[in-house]
Amino acid sequence: QKREISNFDYLMYLNTLAGRSYNDYMQYPVFPWVLADYHSETLNLTDPHTFRDLSKPMGAQTVERKQKFIQRFNEVEKSEGDLSAQCHYCTHYSSAIIVASYLVRMEPFTQTFCSLQGGSFDVADRMFHSVKSTWESASRDNMSDVRELTPEFFYLPEFLTNANHFELGCMQDGTVLGDVQLPPWANGDPHKFIFLHRQALESDYVSAHLHRWIDLIFGHKQHGSAAVEAVNTYHPYFYGDKMDLNNIKDPLIKGTILGFISNFGQIPKQV
């Protein structure tokens, strides 16, 4: 409100308070998608339609998708501690594999990604190759994709280029994976993309609406009835501070929960 701290710095501060850290891929700092326009030749930061709806999680960015997740929630009988527990999302917005896939073109993330994939790169069509197609997947097309972003999207152009010339494979349409495909308004320049993306994060529109996203990720809409109403509930195993692993005697169940969290992510501590 007083313009004494940037939105970026504020989000990093909240992430730190919530136990997120660059040192832990499973609890990496989480940042929001702030734009919805990845097709225009120029980026208009004065038009509200340019921006993502920050009051809704990624699973509720379109009416059709939101209804599908509500239907999923209503169809599952509540069975706490079971893999079919009642929730909107069985995948998460931040996990080790999401972080490593975004940053796969840079070490040490390249090796991390390969080790998480069993020693090699993923199928080329599933690799992070385009900002636009990743947004469309996470906001509209893929019911198992509700990913948000990492801080690097707002300051580090290097992760968008394949400077190490890794052989990332070839997509089904014949496209050889190299640098990340950028929106038209970036003119193929990673530095311009980062510059404009950071401008978007610090824009008046985002400044006026960012608290709504913070409510979803770090605040009162994170769990409970407010989360249900906001279409923002995740599998119980994702809520690390709600699962008392010390009281679970069965090593198989305990191992399953730990494996689930390490593979699929963890909700930040509620701030």
| Half-sphere exposure in the Cβ direction for 16 (13 Å, CA) | 6
The pLDDT profile of the chain, 271 residues, written as one tens digit per residue, is 788 999 999 999 999 999 999 999 999 999 999 999 999 999 999 999 999 999 999 999 999 999 999 999 998 765 554 555 789 998 999 999 999 999 999 999 999 999 988 888 888 889 999 999 999 999 999 999 999 999 999 999 999 999 999 999 999 998 899 999 999 999 999 999 999 999 999 999 999 999 999 999 999 999 999 999 999 999 888 887 666 677 777 888 778 777 777 777 889 999 9
Domains along the chain with CATH numbers: 7-262 (1.10.1540.10)
Cβ atoms of 150 and 15 closer than 8 Å = no
Q: Give CB contacts under 8 A, 24+ apart, made by 2-6.
A: 6/202
pLDDT at 249: 78
- Measured between alpha carbons, how far is 45 from 42 in angstroms, rounded to an integer? 10
The pLDDT value recorded for residue 39 is 97
Nearest to residue 44, comparing CAs of 208, 212, 183?
A: 183
Q: Please tell me the distance from the alpha carbon of residue 205 to that of residue 141, in angstroms, as a whole number.
A: 26
Q: What's residue 133's pLDDT?
A: 96
The pLDDT, as a whole number, for residue 243 is 66
The pLDDT value recorded for residue 143 is 94
The pLDDT value recorded for residue 84 is 59
**What pLDDT, on a 0 to 100 scale, did the predictor assign at position 127?**
93
- Token look-up 């599998």 returns 235
CB 212 within 8 A of CB 55: yes
The predicted pLDDT at position 18 comes to 95
Phi/psi zone of residue 165: left (φ > 0), alpha (ψ -120 to 50 degrees), beta? left
Q: Virtual CA dihedral for 118, 124, 125, 127, nearest 10 degrees? A: 60
Residue 55, sorted as left (phi over 0), alpha (psi -120 to 50) or beta, turns out to be alpha
Residue 3: the pLDDT is: 85
